[in-house]
Amino acid sequence: MSSKLEALQRWVDEVAKLTRPAQIHWCDGSDAEYQQLVQHMLKTGDLIELNQQTHPGCYLHRSSPSDVARVEHLTFVCTKDEEDAGPNNHWMAPTEAHAKMDALFEGCMEGRTMYVIPYCMGPIDSPLARCGVEITDSPYVVANMRTMTRMGAAALARIEREGSFVKGLHSTGELDPERRFIMHFPEELTIKSYGSGYGGNALLGKKCHALRIASYQAKSEGWLAEHMLIVGIENPKGETHYVAAAFPSACGKTNLAMLIPPEGYRQDGWKVWTVGDDICWMRPGADGRLYAINPEAGYFGVAPGTSDNTNPNALSTIARDTIYTNVAITADNQPWWEGLPGKPVTDWQGRPYDPANGPAAHPNSRFTVSAKQCPTWSPHAEDAQGVPLSAIVFGGRRPSLIPLVFEAKDWAHGVLIGAAMGSETTAAATGAVGVLRRDSMAMKPFAGYHYGDYFRHWLSFDKPGAKLPKIFHVNWFRKGEDGSFLWPGYGDNLRVLEWMIDRVEGRAPGKQTPIGTLPAHGELKLGDLSLDSATVDTLLDVDHAGWTAELAAIGEYLHSFGARMPQQLHAEQQRVAKALDEAAPAPRSAVAS
């Protein structure tokens, strides 16, 4: 096959000349093609068949043990001017990066098949959607891209019609961490990734295109590409509010997107609709509201912790036609991970399970599955114009200080709250786990340009005629003195979403504090939850001294971005710091006298 789009055909020819594959396969996205790929991978051992009685169409992939997560220290944004990448990214000069990568790609596909994957991020007929072509030598990548994107003939037709596409070149190489780089050239709409076969490093439509390259494009085109889930909350009156939420990797997006309401809410008629679980592209509509699409077509979700208690929706979604990566297996060949009943016999590396080796499933083990298999898949998930947002939520893993929920005073304050986001690191990227770091808008690893310019772009949406969503911050991960979570989380998070919707509709007056609006006493419907009042007080407390220190740290953080940080955000930080100052409890001496 070939393409009638000259720019595409020329690029494919150039890549083939460089990488020297034995053959070239243009992916059409058909079922027959998928079945052939699966049969091929079963022969090579890239896939292992799971129990087809309990899990029809399900397979296991074991990645190289040194290739199990994103590698932020090996991920670069290569803009001509270093300053454009910002202190939030690793940078390399484009000429140097191209030379380095092309040397790695030279001859790397010898004797192998080169796959050409045309794909569309977003509903194929959506004006918000964007296309790309990934070239890879990994059939596992092809199989995953087929589920995660709209891959094949329809995407190719759109690319040929529009004439433009993001170029992504990938090879698993030798899977040597010393020869592994994920390079982005936003000015050239190009990605080059070598040496990893895993998730965000290799499925180039996902983090590389839909966040790093797309965020860069979005800045000049007036939209936003964000690391957010999109969920619809339908109340008993049948009204649906759409909410987008940014939580860092492995901090609860998939779970919130697939939330099952608590029993009482279900009886009252509440429903939750899943639109997206990881990435959100949004832009203002003619009516001034922000409209959002999910650019992805599938979920690449965290397996551990997924259970009938936490996320029964996900569990039924992945009961068939799913690729599992780095999970353990049971005696009867079913996929297994920590949090599921039953017990593992073989760990994620294929060894007999021995607790001395650590968890049976890798903490960043994943499932890849079509979004349509989710029982709560929204009937509006493929609306070409997207869904209108009522609220934007930021949140992270904060064991202390940050209340369960609070609301920004206005858009600019909301942007500050997003910029100030912090979270403990997780297994989704290599490196230490549980270290608190700033992760503005959950985009620290994904913003394709300078954070100062990025915050300025966010602020620019507040203009005459705009009907922007309200902005909130949540923290499901507050811990008590014994180290256990204070808030039950999961389905009960709907109680917090209900309060947000009440705020949006003007039904909850809330309690004004220097850091924003919190639920007033009794506004959070805690129903039959067995939370004692001391716990609720802790969850909704604004610790004055702690917040004063936090605001100072936020101020320092903003300054670390130098002159490109918009003055408006500094002013916003100063406004909140001053409000805290003015609300300070009376000094001791005054009380004593």
Please identify every residue annotated as catalytic.
251
Residues in contact with ligand SPV by the rule CB under 6 A? 70, 199-200, 206-207, 249, 278, 300, 428
Q: Is 261 one of the binding residues for ligand GTP (CB under 6 A)?
A: no
Q: How far is the CB of 547 from ligand SPV (least distance, A)?
A: 28
Q: Sign of the CA dihedral 362, 364, 368, 369?
A: positive
Q: Is 250 one of the binding residues for ligand GTP (CB under 6 A)?
A: yes
Name which of ligand GTP, Mn ion, ligand SPV, none residue 207 binds, using a CB cut-off of 5 to 8 Å depending on partner kind: ligand SPV
Among 105, 115, 194, 490, binds ligand GTP (CB under 6 A): 490
Structure-block tokens of residue 119:
């794909």
Structure-block tokens of residue 300:
């690449």
Name which of ligand GTP, ligand SPV, Mn ion, none residue 199 binds, using a CB cut-off of 5 to 8 Å depending on partner kind: ligand SPV
Q: Is 572 one of the binding residues for ligand GTP (CB under 6 A)?
A: no
Q: How far is the CB of 171 from ligand SPV (least distance, A)?
A: 18
CA 58 to each of CA 62, 199, 319, 368, 578: distance values in angstroms, whole numbers, following the listed order: 14, 18, 8, 10, 56
Q: Supply φ then ψ for residue 478, to 5 degrees.
A: -65, 135
The one-letter amino acid code at 91 reads W
What lies within 8 Å, CB to CB, of 517 at 6+ separation is 406, 407, 409, 503, 510, 511
| Helix, strand or coil, per DSSP, at residue 49 | strand
Q: How far is the CB of 475 from ligand GTP (least distance, A)?
A: 10
Given a contact cutoff of 8 angstroms between Cβ atoms, the answer to whether 329 and 335 are in contact is yes
Q: Supply φ then ψ for residue 158, to 5 degrees.
A: -65, -40
Cα-atom radius of gyration of the chain, to the nearest Å? 24
The one-letter amino acid code at 199 reads G
Name which of ligand GTP, Mn ion, ligand SPV, none residue 254 binds, using a CB cut-off of 5 to 8 Å depending on partner kind: ligand GTP
Q: Is 310 one of the binding residues for ligand GTP (CB under 6 A)?
A: yes
Regarding beta strands 387-395 and 470-474, do their DSSP bridges make them parallel or antiparallel, or are they unpaired? parallel
Beta carbon nearer to Mn ion, 86 or 248: 248
- Scanning 81-89, 254-262, 278-286, 314-322 for contacts with Mn ion by CB under 5 A, the matching segment is 278-286
Beta carbon nearer to ligand GTP, 278 or 347: 278
Given a contact cutoff of 8 angstroms between Cβ atoms, the answer to whether 445 and 182 are in contact is no
Among 476, 499, 547, 561, binds ligand GTP (CB under 6 A): 476
Q: How many C-beta neighbours within 10 Å does residue 339 have?
A: 15
Beta carbon nearer to ligand GTP, 334 or 365: 365
Among 138, 171, 190, 249, binds Mn ion (CB under 5 A): 249
Name which of ligand GTP, ligand SPV, Mn ion, none residue 255 binds, using a CB cut-off of 5 to 8 Å depending on partner kind: ligand GTP
Beta carbon nearer to ligand GTP, 148 or 251: 251
Residue of 295, 70, 81, 73 whose CA lies nearest to 185: 81
- Scanning 121-129, 137-145, 249-257, 402-410 for contacts with Mn ion by CB under 5 A, the matching segment is 249-257
DSSP letter string, 562-578: GGGS-HHHHHHHHHHHH
CA 175 to each of CA 65, 322, 328, 340: distance values in angstroms, whole numbers, following the listed order: 10, 24, 22, 31
| Helix, strand or coil, per DSSP, at residue 243 | strand
Structure-block tokens of residue 578:
């001053």
- Scanning 33-41, 157-165, 244-252, 482-490 for contacts with Mn ion by CB under 5 A, the matching segment is 244-252
Q: How far is the CB of 252 from ligand GTP (least distance, A)?
A: 3
| Residue with tokens 């406004």, as numbered in its chain | 575
Select the residue whose beta carbon is closest to ligand SPV and give its number: 200
Q: Is 365 one of the binding residues for ligand GTP (CB under 6 A)?
A: no
Beta carbon nearer to ligand GTP, 424 or 572: 424
Given a contact cutoff of 8 angstroms between Cβ atoms, the answer to whether 41 and 306 are in contact is no
Among 254, 313, 440, 573, binds ligand GTP (CB under 6 A): 254
- Scanning 33-41, 273-281, 332-340, 513-521 for contacts with Mn ion by CB under 5 A, the matching segment is 273-281
| Termini Cα distance of the chain | 88
CA 558 to each of CA 145, 402, 418: distance values in angstroms, whole numbers, following the listed order: 37, 19, 12
Among 67, 278, 407, 439, binds Mn ion (CB under 5 A): 278
Q: How far is the CB of 442 from Mn ion (least distance, A)?
A: 8
**Cα–Cα distance between 256 and 426 in angstroms, integer?**
17
What is the 8-class DSSP label of residue 584? P
Q: How far is the CB of 344 from ligand GTP (least distance, A)?
A: 17
Among 33, 46, 67, 278, binds ligand GTP (CB under 6 A): 278
- Under the rule (CB under 5 A), what is the footprint of Mn ion? 249, 278
- Interacting residue ranges for ligand GTP, rule: CB under 6 A: 247, 249-255, 277-278, 301-302, 304-305, 310, 428, 476-477, 485, 489-490, 493
